[in-house]
Structure 1
Amino acid sequence: MSPPWQLPLGVGVRDDATFANFLTGDNPAAVAALKAQASGEEEPLIYLWGREESGRSHLLQAACHAGAANGMRTLYLPLGELGHFPPLMLEDLERLDLLAIDDVDRVVGRKRWEEGLFHCFNRMRDAKRRLVVAACAPPRQLGIQLADLSSRLGWGATFHLQPLDDQQRTEALKLRAGQRGMQLPDEVARYLLHRGPRRLSQLFEVLDRLDHASLSAQRKLTIPFVKQVLDW
């Protein structure tokens, strides 16, 4: 049987989900703690919570990228995608150096999953491994039925991720564009924010589309060109 970090679970970290590609905004302490953890320092347990689009999933995957770059065996488990499976995937994960578990709230209230997470956390702690967990709310507000699990989640450093304001969203678009080698003028970024989808992840998809169109047409990104491509 393959080691747990090599199991073909059908999910993986996105190539673009890195610390370099994340606008810190009002979350410098959380990002600093994750970077330190991925280098083998600081807290063995970090808990992130925040509303949708607050960057939880990006940061968990970025931690895995950073840990792997430092020679760690890492695994990203998005329970929003995997929670319909039984919690057998949690067994033997203490052989990893860093485990990132996303969307814990998606399995709350399910006895087998809560017990599986509790025992997994204990094994990771006993093996002195590192764990980063994310959910939509702080541990005490998740409605976890297993009191010991709720207690375990509160043992480490907890960070409330703050969403980006409009100015920061503009900066995030320009950062993502720069990572792709695109020149995104301020007026075009503002146009995309005002006319495009509200979700930042969808705006990044719009950027991808504009990047391909710009390269194909050998055109710079201007508002008239964006209107032509997107038909807005």
Structure 2
Amino acid sequence: MAAAPLTSPQRQLLLDLELDQPRTFDNFVAGANGELLARLADLAPGSTALYLWGPEGSGRSHLLQAATARAAGQRAAPLLRGDAVGDYLTPPPGALLAVDDVERLDAAAQIALFRAFNSARLEGWTLLLSGPCPPAQLNLREDLRTRIGQCLIYEVQALSEEDKAATLRQQAAARGMRLDEAIVQWLLRHGRRDLPSLLAALDALDRASLEQKRPPTLPLLRAALQSRSDLA
């Protein structure tokens, strides 16, 4: 028998469940990044300059968001993406200045970030930057690339398959889902296997299960993902 259509309150509940949770240090799956996580959690104003690198989905953006949120009471500037940086960077004294995806900086923004490096000690700024590759491989002007290379540099380590599987099980349990092990193994062997994509696939399964009032099964997961080319 076909499931009854969702009422407006039920559909709103599903929309609420899809809203992104704030990125914090507590909900970051550390894996082999324990030292990096501890350092970021203890950042003090004007303490240092750090550059984190790793591919899309590695968690570097999560860490910058978490650090910015943690420093909110210490005059943190808003987290900026490289393509949103303007001609000037003027955070208040003692602020955390975080710039994600520095490879997206245009020519004027590269000059602005270089000037920020020069002013950081005087202004008491902490610089926290991220990009997809080591500094030497960034397609930026040489003087800025050299300054980034002088930062404390961390590669955000990819999660192991065991870490990913454990995270899927934990997230499913938190949602009250009884997740068959076959689903976990299928997710780890098909489509995109970075953690954000895996959790998005779990979201899709959870949503389909709620909408159709069916238990979460592998056939239901496959059907839910058919229209999600971004997760294939």
TM-score bucket (shorter structure): 0.7 to 0.9
Q: Aligned match of 1:114 in 106, 110, 117?
A: 110
1:98 and 1:131 in contact (8 A); partners too:
yes
Q: Aligned match of 1:58 in 62, 68, 82?
A: 62
3-state DSSP of counterpart to 1:75: coil
> What is the alpha-carbon distance in structure 2 between the residues aligned to residue 71 and residue 78 of structure 1?
20
> What is the alpha-carbon distance in structure 1 between the residues aligned to residue 214 and residue 41 of structure 2?
38
3-state DSSP of counterpart to 2:189: helix
1:30 and 1:159 in contact (8 A); partners too:
yes
Query: Which residue of 2 is the match for residue 77 of structure 1?
Result: 80
Query: Which residue of 2 is the match for residue 15 of structure 1?
Result: 21
CA offset digits 1:171-205 (Å, max 9, x no partner) = 33334445555453433222222234334333222
> What is the alpha-carbon distance in structure 2 between the residues aligned to residue 176 and residue 74 of structure 1?
31
> What is the alpha-carbon distance in structure 2 between the residues aligned to residue 138 and residue 126 of structure 1?
27
Query: Which residue of 2 is the match for residue 151 of structure 1?
Result: 146
Query: Which residue of 2 is the match for residue 174 of structure 1?
Result: 169
Q: CA deviation at 1:224?
A: 4.5
Identical pairs, percent? 34
> What is the alpha-carbon distance in structure 2 between the residues aligned to residue 43 and residue 185 of structure 1?
46
Q: CA deviation at 1:128?
A: 1.1
Between 172-181 and 26-35, the greater mean CA deviation after superposition? 172-181
- Tell me, which stretches of 5 or more residues in structure 2 are unaligned? 1-19, 228-232
> What is the alpha-carbon distance in structure 2 between the residues aligned to residue 175 and residue 42 of structure 1?
37
Query: Which residue of 2 is the match for residue 127 of structure 1?
Result: 123
> What is the alpha-carbon distance in structure 2 between the residues aligned to residue 62 and residue 180 of structure 1?
23
Tell me: CA distance 1:228–1:50, structure 2 relative to 1, closer, same or farther (3 Å).
Answer: closer
> What is the alpha-carbon distance in structure 2 between the residues aligned to residue 104 and residue 163 of structure 1?
20
- Provide TM-score, normalisation by structure 1: 0.74
RMSD: 2.9
Q: CA deviation at 1:169?
A: 2.2
3-state DSSP of counterpart to 2:221: helix
If you compute each CA radius of gyration, which structure gives the higher value, 1 or 2? Answer: 2
Are residues 1:210 and 2:205 paired? Answer: yes
1:188 and 1:222 in contact (8 A); partners too:
yes
3-state DSSP of counterpart to 2:42: helix
Query: Which residue of 2 is the match for residue 8 of structure 1?
Result: none
Q: Aligned pair count?
A: 208
1:36 and 1:42 in contact (8 A); partners too:
no
Query: Which residue of 1 is the match for residue 98 of structure 2?
Result: 100
Q: CA deviation at 1:208?
A: 1.6
Query: Which residue of 2 is the match for residue 11 of structure 1?
Result: none
2:50 and 2:152 in contact (8 A); partners too:
yes
- Amino acid corresponding to residue 127 of structure 2 in structure 1: L
Query: Which residue of 2 is the match for residue 48 of structure 1?
Result: 52
2:45 and 2:126 in contact (8 A); partners too:
no
Are residues 1:198 and 2:193 paired? Answer: yes
> What is the alpha-carbon distance in structure 1 between the residues aligned to residue 78 and residue 195 of structure 2?
25
- Provide TM-score, normalisation by structure 2: 0.74
CA offset digits 1:33-63 (Å, max 9, x no partner) = 11111xx379421110122222111111121
- Amino acid corresponding to residue 61 of structure 2 in structure 1: S
> What is the alpha-carbon distance in structure 1 between the residues aligned to residue 42 and residue 200 of structure 2?
30
